[in-house]
Amino acid sequence: MTKRQKNALETRQKIYETACSLIEEKGFANVSVEDITRACGVSKGTFYVYFKRKEDIVFECCKEWFSDVDRKAREHKGTIVEKLAFYFKGFMEGVTCGGAELCRQWVREVINPNDSPGEMCGGKYNYDLGHMTAFLEDAVKGGLLKKSTPVKTLAHIFMCELYGMMTSWCMSDEKFVPDEWVGRFAKVQLPNLLAPYRVK
């Protein structure tokens, strides 16, 4: 990697980090692209070299952990309840780690229909249930769940729970601790939902 390329990467990172802290401080709608570029000493044009749209900045933080939580949960040892609890914990960690404003903006963007104009930088997280179904299919193959398990339906139910936690967290102004929620869910609700499909 040349010095030039290294600098470019640093610029991109600087823009991203400045944007995150400004958004968290003032709210996404109250931060302009020029606010961001002024704050980190680059020009407006530079921003648009690295991000197609202002909104794309919020997808940056999700890029890694979305593939990562998937991999980690797959590798996680334990019962299917433990595996799922781990996945839930990871999802909430990823969604909340940037703070409420970033999460809110992520939700605002991610609920857009798929044919929305403007390609998402870094790939859109869309409602294909991909992560969750793959994860549950692993559990079926691994002998943790019965072959007859309605993977798609379960995936759907679990994603629904995750979106509920995420949205509640956004709206409750960070008053609740995701770990506690996930803990309660794993203890009270998960076993009942999985009971019919578990291999004894």
Binding site for DNA (CB under 7 A): 2-5, 7-8, 11-12, 31-34, 41-46, 48-49, 52-55, 118
Binding interface with its own copies (CB under 8 A)? 27, 30, 100, 104, 107-108, 110-114, 116-117, 126-127, 156-157, 159-168, 170-173, 176, 181, 184, 188-189, 192-193
Give the nearest distance from C-beta 104 to its own copies in angstroms.
Answer: 5
Query: Among DNA, its own copies, none, what does residue 116 contact (CB within 5–8 Å per kind)?
Result: its own copies
Query: What SS3 state is found at 145?
Result: strand
Give the integer Cα–Cα distance in Å for 186 and 192: 10
Give the nearest distance from C-beta 2 to DNA in angstroms.
Answer: 4
Give the nearest distance from C-beta 99 to DNA in angstroms.
Answer: 19
Give the integer Cα–Cα distance in Å for 183 and 84: 11
Is 70 or 161 the residue whose CB approaches its own copies more closely? 161
Give the nearest distance from C-beta 74 to DNA in angstroms.
Answer: 36
Which residues are paired to 68 by β-bridges?
none
Q: For residue 187, which of 65, 97, 113, 84 has the smallest C-alpha distance?
A: 84
Query: Among DNA, its own copies, none, what does residue 34 contact (CB within 5–8 Å per kind)?
Result: DNA
Helical pair 151-171 and 100-110, crossing angle rounded to 10 deg: 130
Query: Among DNA, its own copies, none, what does residue 79 contact (CB within 5–8 Å per kind)?
Result: none
Largest distance between two CA atoms of the chain: 62
Query: Among its own copies, DNA, none, what does residue 180 contact (CB within 5–8 Å per kind)?
Result: none
Give the nearest distance from C-beta 6 to its own copies in angstroms.
Answer: 37
Is 12 or 108 the residue whose CB approaches DNA more closely? 12
Q: Are 200 and 95 in contact (CB under 8 A)?
A: no
Query: Long-range contact list for 109-112, CB < 8 A, 24+ apart?
Result: 109/55, 109/58, 109/59
Is 48 or 127 the residue whose CB approaches its own copies more closely? 127
Cα end-to-end distance, the chain, whole Å: 54
Query: What SS3 state is found at 62?
Result: helix
Give the integer Cα–Cα distance in Å for 95 and 177: 13
Query: Among its own copies, DNA, none, what does residue 114 contact (CB within 5–8 Å per kind)?
Result: its own copies
